Amino acid sequence: MLRVAVALAWQKKRVGGMRMPSTAARAVHALKDENCPILISPSLVSLDLPDIWASNPTPHDFPSAHKCSNEQNAAIIDGKSMAEEIMSRIAFEVKRMKESIGKVPGLAVIMVGQRRDSQTYVRNKIKACGEAGIMSMMTELPDDCKEDEVLNALSRFNEDPSVHGILVQLPLPQHLDEAKILDVLSLEKDVDGFHPLNMGNLALRGREPLFIPCTPKGCIELLIRSGVEIMGKRAVVIGRSNIVGLPTSLLLQRHHATVSIIHAFTKNPEQITCEADIVITAAGVPNLVRGNWLKPGAIVIDVGTNPIEDPSCEHGYRLRGDVFYEEAVRVASLITPVPGGVGPMTIAMLLSNTLDSAKRAYDFT
């Protein structure tokens, strides 16, 4: 298995007759520039291009489905080190904000119940806040709490000017109305980007959401930092959850990928996946995506973090992705590991969104 840092290629692409640098190329350029923004991903509205269709293209023979082979070794996308690089830039910006205006960004977390995975996620987020100099606070509520208790906690954070981001750790216990709770969350503090207005603005060309959901944003940032040109690529998103699959498919579309969304009612998912240049999986099913689901040279982003019982591990379990990694790594050209791929980027994006929110609140540039 080839464990190499992903090389960033300077690419040029002809768009609409105009010679312009690709997103990946601009990304590399930005990385070299010390004054560049923390994230390389461009604003969505800046990506908007008119659809100029080629009328009546010449019909041609269609190639048969790609044969999936087992001969290639993938380079590993090192999400951990990319996230660390972003985190250090965030920490620098937080320090600059504190020194300039005496303020720091604040993130509030509402955690209901005792889910082990949620507790781990929240702990990691709080820890990351501390490392970046972002103030964090948490309200923990019991599993059987009333909806009003959650709404009251939310209202307090909505009104607190030292809080710039609020996240309600999902999933909530069944008896709570998730939609109703998320609707109460102040749009300006919705750093998870789950509010339907944010989602609508993510979907609609010509518009820009206040916040892009963290995991999808992290996936795109991983791709761009790996030198992957998304425009025109066939992308398959496996899973259509409100928090990952759906916004990921919308975001890939804003980047001009040709997107197919696979879910549990899809027949022959492997057949569709095998045609994709980019596969992003968020199904929550360990080892769902086998090596023969992939086109040789595909780029694979694995959002799955599924605990698998393993008595030999410290906590009695280990994490597996949605992708059968040992098979996929022989077929793909680029792949994220689990853990150490998308996970750290999600947290970095949460902190980036919180920083952006604080900058907006204080009009700090």
- Cis bond upstream, residue 171 (ω within 30): yes
Contact present, 155 and 184 (Cβ < 8 Å): yes
| Ramachandran angles phi, psi of 54, nearest 5° | -80, 115
**Is residue 102 close enough to count as binding a copy of itself by CB under 8 A?**
no
**Is residue 53 close enough to count as binding a copy of itself by CB under 8 A?**
yes
Which positions from 197 through 226 interact with a copy of itself, judged by CB under 8 A? 197-201, 203-207
Residue tagged 């969505």 (tokens): 44
Which range touches a copy of itself (CB under 8 A), out of 32-40, 61-69, 112-120, 347-355? 61-69
One-letter amino acid at 355 equals L
Cβ 80 to a copy of itself shortest distance, Å? 27
Residue tagged 């996946």 (tokens): 273
> What is the spatial distance between Cα 223 and Cα 219, in angstroms, rounded to a whole number?
6
| Ramachandran angles phi, psi of 101, nearest 5° | -125, 5
**Is residue 178 close enough to count as binding a copy of itself by CB under 8 A?**
yes
Among the listed residues 78, 189, 190, 192, the single catalytic one is: 192
How many Å is the Cα radius of gyration of the chain?
Answer: 21
Among 26, 103, 115, 290, binds a copy of itself (CB under 8 A): 290
Contact present, 136 and 126 (Cβ < 8 Å): yes
**Is residue 64 close enough to count as binding a copy of itself by CB under 8 A?**
yes
189 a catalytic residue: no
Among 2, 7, 12, 57, binds a copy of itself (CB under 8 A): 57
Among the listed residues 125, 189, 217, 233, the single catalytic one is: 125
One-letter amino acid at 267 equals K
For the annotated catalytic residues, the residue numbers are 125, 169, 192
Give residues in contact with a copy of itself (CB under 8 A): 49, 51-57, 59, 62-65, 178-179, 195-201, 203-207, 231-232, 234, 239-240, 242, 246, 250, 253, 256, 258-268, 270-272, 274-275, 283-288, 290, 292-293
